[in-house]
Amino acid sequence: MRYKVARMVTGMRGWQAGTVILALACGVGVRAQAPDGIPREFARTRAARISDLRYGLRFMLTPKAATVAGHEDLKFEVSGSGALWLDFREGTIASLSVNGTAAATKIENGHVELPEKALRVGENSVAIDFAAPVAAAGKAITRFEDKDDGSEYLYTLFVPMDAEMAFPCFDQPDLKGRFKLSVTAPTSWTVISNTAAGLRVGGRIGEHTTEFAETEPISTYLFAFAAGPFKKVHETAGLPGLYVRASKLAKAQSEAEEVQTVTQQGIDYLSKFFAQPFPFPKYDEVLIPGFAYGGMEHAGATFLREESVLFRTAPTHSDHLNRDILLLHELTHQWFGDLTTMRWFDDLWLKEGFAQYMAYQALDAIAPKENVWKRFYLSIKPGAYGIDATKGTTPIYQNIANLKDAKSAYGAIVYSKAPGVIKQLAFVLGEEKFRDGLRLYLKEHAYGNAEWSDLVGAFERVSGRKLQEWAAMWIRHRGMPQVDVQWSCDGAGKIDRFLLTQKDVLGEGGIWPIAMEVLLAYRDGKTDRIRADLAAERGELKEPIGKACPQFVFANDRDYAYGRFLLDERSRKTVVEQIGGIGDVFERALLWGSLWDGVREANFAPREFVEVTLRQLPGERDEEVAQSLIGHVTTGLHRYVSAEVRKQIVPGAEKTAAEQVENAEEKDFRIIWFRALRGLAESEEGRARLKELLSGKLTVPGVELRPLDRWTMVTALIALGDREAGAYLAAEQKRDSTGDGLKYAYVAQAARPDAATKKKYFDEYLHDAARPEDWIESSLGAFNYWNESELTEPYLRPALEALPQMKRERKIFFVLGWLNAFVGGQQSAGALAEMQEFLQSGAVDQDLQLKILEVMDELERTVKIRQRYP
């Protein structure tokens, strides 16, 4: 080993002591032991010894087989001495040779040893014959069976450390390699990978081999292929390619051009903004049915969840914009993540935060009329504040001591808080300096790796500002501030006092440097805006003193700052009275958000919020604001108010929704009111409306409901215990027997309000390996339908106990989806007590404890709100 003892000790930050012994042991020539997972310091040491890495990979894909066979020729330069470990888990090795010498093929703890005596300083070559598992769920190579035409598709998904489940590799982001892939598959299959397919050559009858050009240096998690009877949706010269499975080709044709055009506009915009041309030789988007994420940014070949592009429900304008955000997010990653990659997953925010932020910035440039930053506030901020106010929150920079825990880094902190904080940073630096900092960072680390301090350093150099203290609070410290305003006016109608204060929401003593724009609002929509900086617990603002007394004030206009901004008592009263008439839609969205925060803080009655909202909603002319309000009303009714209050309010709400379904002027509003009706319908009358929609007696004028729209109504009828639910289910199964239809019927039946159903489904969740993961994931909400708490509470504890298994076996976002569904189904103090008891039992690791705390927060709020406003 190259490292001396002293260096190892200083490098021990967060690293397990057990690995030190291993490192020292190989230093003195004792046979090394395979580490558990990929510890950080193990990875650092390995990265320091290996360079010029090249993977030659050949996969033989056979339909229906439980494994794929592969051959690998690996070449790399080595420095220093000692054995090296390749990572490979769940597969088998038939032969292994290192520099021409046969070596043991034993896989220990997910690693294969390259023995010290076989390695040499300088160039090394390794040849391996191996086999890797393929399954419908739980493996790095997933099989999708298309029930519509009986065909089969295979695709890879390696992030964060599953490449090693598909082939032996150095599976860490800072060991970038050049990949040269060849795939043998049935002749009817098309294979898509990171680079363009070159030569296709025949082989055995019915098979052909596709050779791909060698990639640029990329991380293992960014290497990918997809294979099956994919079709390329029309070739438009100069636009990125779009692939779809054969059975969805006709459907994809109507969406393709928009998708390709937005993607191309994004490429043009980002190339200019980053001052870096598109970093890879080609770009394709591949639609994958049931894909575990919205998308995955493989270099040159983004995989997208088919359902995110080919809408399963009647889409609104806003749904199309959400799709564009997804396309632009994955596209941004080609620079932020793929060209320049975080060294380790503790800096996951570097790629996710910027992809999220830049997606909005790019959309703002492509579609300037869309009020994109209002969308950012409505889509991004609730998730961020939702986690950051909980005891389960973490800093943006998350300590990941071992890659096997990298899945835990994914969540609202990187996807929602990080872009929120980046927005604040862009406001602090100014747009130009912000852009120049990004350019410098990408230029200096092109095709390499970097850490957060490299980025902060780049911003410091271009702006001449010191950002270390800023970064220490926003990136290395957890939690967020609550900012309050105290103001008063004198007898002459002038402001005589204006005080801003901040407090740490979690009570952990944090003080953040905050830059914001304060709004003073007057009659007739007149406003005044004041830039304010607050870096202490309190600060008197001089600028407003002597100005005319406003009607209300709000401290985070335009949403530049990150934190909780509640309205003071006086402002809130005015806002509640006037909110429907506030003409500026961004401002209106922010004020509604602040009122809702008041509800969640248990200082504004949920009933009052719901009633005010239901009065204003029919007049709301912004689709996104209306959608967000409908969401709050539904949550308020299903969680926060008592059953009696709910029963008083629901009939009126159902009636409003049904009227709007028929009479709202714009189609998008008829669609969102249809969704509102489906979510709120509960009474006999409400259920009758759903049945009329299903039978065609009632229509949504100008809108053709899609299969999933119908299935969700069937699910609601089942969950609500409607007498005719069984008949509607049978009718729908007959009507839609497609592959999607089979999945939706499975989901709908999870909502059956009886104990036997719950038991059957829960057993399957834990033990049925053949059930596709997205079927299970989609059914969790139906299983835990809002009105079935009593039936599902017995599964709360078993669901918590199953967390380690879910973390091990499932894809990245599954654990949070699982927790949110099972905890989200509960509203009672008893369920809360059960969770607290489980936490105290210490049955799960610290990382899962944080996830539980994060999700439990909503249950704590629910209990608190219900107690405060019975």
Nearer CB in complex with Zn ion: 289/295: 295
* Angle between helical axes of 846-868 and 372-388 (0-180°, round to 10): 100
- Applying CB under 5 A, the span of 268-276, 344-352, 468-476, 833-841 interacting with Zn ion comes to 344-352
Report CA torsion sign: 85, 87, 89, 94.
negative
Interface stretch with Zn ion, choices 61-69, 347-355, 396-404, 572-580 (CB under 5 A): 347-355
List b or e across 576-599, with b for residues whose CB sees 16 or more CB atoms inside 10 angstroms: bebbeebebebbbbbbbbbbbbbb
Give the three-state DSSP class for 20. Answer: helix
Give whichever of 248 and 333 is closer to Zn ion, judged by the CB atom. Answer: 333
Minimum distance from residue 812 beta carbon to Zn ion (Å)? 11
Among 136, 348, 355, 475, binds Zn ion (CB under 5 A): 355
Based on CB atoms, which residue is closest to Zn ion, 240 or 544?
240
In the complex, what is the shortest distance from the CB of residue 829 to Zn ion, in angstroms, rounded to a whole number?
38
Contacting range for Zn ion; rule: CB under 5 A; set: 235-243, 351-359, 574-582, 693-701: 351-359
Pair 718, 687: CB distance under 8 Å: no
Give least dist CB 295 to Zn ion, A.
7
Q: What phi, psi does 89 have (nearest 5°)?
A: -125, 150
Q: Which is nearer to Zn ion, 134 or 355 (CB)?
A: 355
Per-residue binding letters, 263-302, with Zn ion (x by CB under 5 A): ----------------------------------------
Question: CB 82 → Zn ion: shortest distance, Å?
Answer: 36
Using H for helix, E for strand and C for coil, what is the string for 290-326? CCCCCEECCCCEEEEEHHHHCCCCCCCHHHHHHHHHH
Minimum CB distance to Zn ion, residue 358 (Å): 11
Give the other-Cβ count within 10 Å of 191's Cβ: 24
Omega prior to 315 cis, within 30 of 0: no
Query: Do residues 168 and 128 touch, judged by C-beta distance below 8 A?
Result: yes
CB-nearer residue toward Zn ion: 381 or 752: 381
Tell me the residue type at 507: G
Shortest CB 363 distance to Zn ion, Å: 15
Minimum separation from the CB atom of position 48 to Zn ion (A)? 28
Q: Is 412 in the site for Zn ion (CB under 5 A)?
A: no
CA distance 568 to 498: 12
Identify which of 418, 411, 266 has the alpha carbon closest to the alpha carbon of residue 426: 418
The token pair at 648 is: 């008083």
Q: How far, in Å, CA of 424 to CA of 475, rounded? A: 12
Contacts for 458 with CB less than 8 Å, ≥ 6 apart? 437, 438, 440, 441, 444
Least separation in angstroms between CB 415 and Zn ion: 7
**Stretch touching Zn ion by CB under 5 A, among 130-138, 348-356, 459-467, 850-858:** 348-356
396 touches 453 (CB < 8 A): no
Given the rule CB under 5 A, which of 24-32, 272-280, 302-310, 346-354 is the region that contacts Zn ion? Answer: 346-354
Q: Which two tokens stand for residue 112?
A: 């294969």
Compute how many residues bind Zn ion; rule: CB under 5 A: 2
Pairing outcome for strands 67-78 and 122-135: antiparallel
3-state secondary structure of 830: helix
Tell me which residue of 389, 430, 443 sits closest to 412, measured CA to CA. Answer: 389
User: Using CB under 5 A, which residues numbered 59 to 98 contact Zn ion?
Assistant: none
As measured in angstroms, the least distance from the Cβ of 11 to Zn ion is 29
Nearer to Zn ion, 352 or 682 (CB): 352
Which tokens hold the place of 727?
A: 């008949």
CB of 603 to Zn ion, least distance (A): 36
Site pattern 436..475 for Zn ion (x: CB under 5 A): ----------------------------------------
The closest residue (CB) to Zn ion is 355
- Touching Zn ion, residues 186-205 (CB under 5 A): none
The pattern of x and - marking residues 788 through 827 that bind Zn ion according to CB under 5 A reads ----------------------------------------
The minimum distance between CB 434 and Zn ion, in angstroms, equals 20
Dihedral Cα 569, 571, 577, 578, nearest 10 deg:
-160
Closest distance to Zn ion from the beta carbon of 338 (Å): 11
Q: How far apart, in whole angstroms, are the C-alpha atoms of residue 243 and residue 246?
A: 9
CB under 5 A: which stretch of 117-125, 268-276, 353-361, 698-706 binds Zn ion? 353-361
Closer by beta carbon to Zn ion, 325 or else 534:
325
By beta-carbon proximity to Zn ion, the closer residue of 332 and 778 is: 332
Taking the least distance from each CB to Zn ion, the nearer of 319 and 352 is 352
Binding site for Zn ion (CB under 5 A): 352, 355
